[in-house]
């Protein structure tokens, strides 16, 4: 197991370095000038050039990259062009709300998808199976922004049961009940999309296993169907399920960009949109780097879970 983990870590290091290079080049080649976004509108071209020189934006891209990498290796992500705050502080402030939103959405999405997917597989071609298939297709097909706006219109505007957005009511102490009320709609939107996709994966994986000969043998020995399905079948259907769960963790960040914008949730997704609009290069590079690290960690964790679920994998 130790050698297997070491091999995966050695693969991840050059990938992460490549991501930093690609990340830096793409962001710095983007059209627009960050200096023009925050200097005085009456500033002359000479003053703008002087500010760019002061910030090091006129240096060759290679020099800028190694200067950024040197700061990164010393734990310094730079300062935001728009707020003048340390980027590390900005990310830490936004990371908590996003992790809360993402974690709850993933938890409830899987809590819905796994049992329904198993039940749908065991009741193949029944009315329940058709109903879950229909729900799955709806969850996959409806865009997050459309579902979010629809949920706001019904539950906030018409019924006035839930807040339209934000993380807490302005002027309140942000108590537990208030936070829960603000979480319900964005978690519902993200969890619906996750559940819609995962039900189909779980169902297909279970159907592949349920027809195996060893399960017929288990039934012939008199084991209850619940034990056959949830102990023997589910264990061997885990690897495809682990794959899609591992891939969902980084994808949730992309989904949260839209959802956080719709609900004005003060997390990483909303910060990404704000940084793009203000051409805040240091913050954008930090967000992309953090996303890449999350993707690598998710893939690494998936590989480890593979080896736990099927010991033959770590020998490959």
Query: What is the residue-averaged pLDDT of the chain?
Result: 82
Which pTM was predicted?
Answer: 0.80
Pick the more confident residue, 162 or 255.
Answer: 162
Task: Kindly state the average pLDDT of the residues 184-201.
Answer: 90
What pLDDT shows up at residue 185?
93
Sorted by sequence, the CB contacts under 8 Å of residue 24 that are 6+ apart come out as 61, 64, 65, 68, 285
What pLDDT shows up at residue 189?
92
CB atoms within 10 A of CB 1: 10
- Please write the tens of the pLDDT for every residue from 194-207: 898 888 888 888 88
Give the integer Cα–Cα distance in Å for 2 and 171.
52
Give the integer Cα–Cα distance in Å for 185 and 180.
10
Structural domains in the chain, CATH included, are: 90-265 (1.10.3720.10)
Write the burial class of residue 252 (CB in 10 Å: 0-12 exposed, 13-18 middle, 19+ buried): buried
Pick the more confident residue, 20 or 244.
Answer: 20
- Please write the tens of the pLDDT for every residue from 22-76: 888 888 777 767 777 676 667 777 877 787 787 777 788 888 888 888 888 888 8
């Amino acid at each position: 197991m130790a050698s297997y983990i070491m091999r995966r870590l050695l693969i991840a290091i050059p990938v992460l370095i490549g991501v930093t290079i690609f990340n830096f080049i793409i962001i710095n080649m983007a059209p627009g000038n960050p200096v023009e976004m925050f200097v005085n509108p009456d500033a002359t071209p000479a003053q703008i050039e002087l500010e760019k020189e002061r910030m090091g934006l006129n240096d060759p891209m290679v020099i800028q990259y190694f200067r950024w990498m040197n700061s990164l290796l010393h734990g310094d992500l730079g300062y935001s062009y728009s707020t003048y705050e340390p980027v590390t502080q900005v990310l830490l402030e936004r990371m908590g709300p996003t992790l809360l939103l993402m974690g709850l959405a993933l938890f409830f999405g899987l809590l819905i998808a796994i049992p329904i997917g198993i039940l749908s597989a065991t009741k193949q071609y029944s009315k329940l199976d058709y109903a879950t298939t229909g729900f799955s297709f709806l969850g996959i097909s409806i865009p997050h922004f459309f579902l979010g706006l629809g949920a706001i219109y019904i539950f906030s505007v018409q019924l006035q049961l839930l807040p339209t957005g934000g993380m807490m009511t302005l002027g309140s102490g942000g108590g537990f009940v208030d936070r829960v009320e603000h979480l319900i709609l964005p978690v519902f939107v993200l969890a619906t999309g996750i559940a819609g996709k995962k039900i189909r994966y779980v169902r297909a994986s279970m159907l592949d296993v349920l027809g195996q000969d060893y399960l017929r043998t288990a039934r012939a020995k008199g084991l209850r169907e619940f034990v056959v399905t949830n102990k023997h079948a589910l264990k061997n259907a885990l690897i495809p399920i682990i794959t899609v769960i591992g891939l969902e963790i980084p994808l949730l960040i992309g989904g949260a960009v839209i959802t956080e914008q719709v609900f004005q949730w003060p997390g990483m997704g909303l910060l990404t949109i704000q940084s793009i609009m203000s051409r805040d290069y240091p913050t954008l590079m930090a967000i992309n780097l953090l996303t890449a690290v999350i993707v690598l960690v998710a893939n690494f964790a998936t590989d480890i879970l593979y080896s736990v679920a099927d010991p033959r994998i770590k020998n490959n």
